[in-house]
Structure formats: structure tokens, C-alpha cells
Amino acid sequence: MSLRVASMFAGIGGICLGFKQAGFDIIWANEKDRAACNTYRHNFGSDWLCQSDIYKVNPQDVPDFDILTAGFPCQPFSVAGEQKGFRDPRGNLFFEIARIVDAKRPKIIFLENVSNLVEHDNGRTFLIIYNTLVQFGYAVRYKVLDAHVYGNLPQPRSRIFIVAFLDFDMCGKFKFPEPIDLTLGINDIVNRSEKKHGSYYYGADSEVAQKYGGKIFDRNYTYRISDKGLIRVRNHYCPTLTANMGFYPNRVPIVCDDYGIRKLTHRECLDFQGFPQDYGFPKNITVDDAYRQIGNSVCVPVIKRIAERIGALLS
């Protein structure tokens, strides 16, 4: 049976890719951001992408589907942001998901957000989301999964995954993936003997090199600059990749290689998110937009593992 997926807030297609790798058919996706849509089309084509403000999308114009996926904007709930939640206009976008669900009633709903969603506003935010799905007749399962535990990626990236089912028996049979061994380290992704494009390196006269250059020397670690200064990331991981890499260039993780100190490349960041080697960016995407898009995306192997569990129930 062909299992059809519609995706809201699709971004550059990380969730779509995970479901596609698990054997699902993506038949519709919506994204507002022009640059993200350019990247999405570059990798998936334009057959099903609807570039539009979600508020303008008529549910009747969305083809019928089995599963609705949505990585709805996480900044309103993130500990890295102001945590305004539903008081932030972006937080209210969850209710656009509810609007599509109410009209289409898919068999399954798959949602992804920051792990802090559970605690935000003393749990009231999550309770609104949970109760909304229940009121539409769904049974709900949720769990916080970390990429380095469930995706074999050396990046600590905890996210909450919510899977809701119209069929209560199916919900009872669903189980999130089990932890797997982490076999990849940062040096499986970062080739320190290969010289990258000069734009990635911090020259001797750069502010980063002058302020931190003498402290960035260990070739088994990555570093990040925070509000508190330079931090050497523990346990041989890449720090959590964030969207602010696209707004503050010095927030891109830093490594030391044979040729100096430099930022992680776009390709390395994609690798830390688990994107395949044939996934890339179009030439008209700016450097900053590419970093922002990666930080806004998901760890694809974690999505794929959950999608496989869902597919097994529907096959």
C-alpha cells in the first residue's frame, strides 16, 4: 500500500526525507520561507511543494493523505529563545496544524519540536497541544529522543516527537525506537587533513583568532563560542546546531585542522544532521541562509527510524 505524507512547515525537507527513506510517498508539502523552498526544490523537485503562508492554505486544496507531519516553529518554546510560547505569533502556528487536522483527519499525525516543549509554561503549553489532538479523536504517544542516542550521530540534539493515531489499537502497538550504539565520532565527519575553502578559516587578524586562537588546538574536539565565551564541547561531540548560525557567523562550531582554525563547513553540518551525500544547496542560497536552514532542520536518521515504526503498523 502506498502511504501518503503531507508535510507542514517542511523547511528544507528533513522530515520529508526521513519518511521518504522509510518508504513513504510525499504528496504535498508547505513552506513559507523562500530560501528554504529553493533548497527543498533543489533536492526534491517542485511537484508537490506549496510555497505559501500557511494561513492562506485552504485544506480543500490539499490532496488526501494518510500521515500529516510537521516540525512546527520551535523558537517560541526553546530555552535558547525567549520562551514566549503561544504569546509568540509563531507559537500560534500549532493551531494551523489543528485546522488542517480538523478538515482532513489523517490516520496519523507526526510532530517534532524542542524538548523544552514539555516543560514550557509549567507544562500548560504541551497540555494544550495534547488535549487538542485528543479532542479530535486521536490517541497520543510522545517521547524525547536525542540524536546521539537514537540516530548514531555525534551531536547532542534532544527533540520531542509526538505521534497521534486515530486507531487506538494501532497507538497501543506503536513503540518508539530503542537506543542504538554511537559508532560515529566527530573525526568520522571532520577530515582535518583536507583543506577547505578559504572562506571557512579564521585568519590571524580575525577577532576570533586573536581572542581564542591560542585556545583552539585539540584536534579531537569541536569548539563553540557562546555568550560565556569559548567552550570546548565535551565527549567528542559536535555542539547542537542552531538556527542562529545563520545570524551570528561566530556561532558556527569551530575545529582545528592542519591548516588553521575554521568553521564547520555546510557539508559537515549536513553530515552531523544525517543528510545523505547527494543532498546539497542550490547556488543561489547565501552562506548565512544555508547555516540557518541546517540549524532549523532535523536529524534525518531519527526521523527515519520513527517512520519505519509507523510504516510497520500500516503495512
* Cβ contact 174:121 at 8 Å: no
* Cβ contact 104:59 at 8 Å: yes
State the number of CA atoms in the 13 A half-sphere of 301 facing the CB: 22
Nearest to 240 by CA among 220, 256, 226: 226
| Parallel, antiparallel or unpaired: strands 49-51 and 25-31 | parallel
Positive or negative, the CA dihedral 108, 113, 116, 122 is negative
* Cβ contact 145:159 at 8 Å: yes
CA angle 87, 93, 96 (to 5 degrees): 135
Nearest to 69 by CA among 314, 304, 245: 304
Known catalytic residues? 74
* Cβ contact 112:160 at 8 Å: yes
| Parallel, antiparallel or unpaired: strands 229-232 and 223-226 | antiparallel
Positive or negative, the CA dihedral 6, 55, 10, 39 is positive
* Cβ contact 9:73 at 8 Å: yes
Q: Which residues contact 197 (CB under 8 A, 6 or more apart)?
A: 265
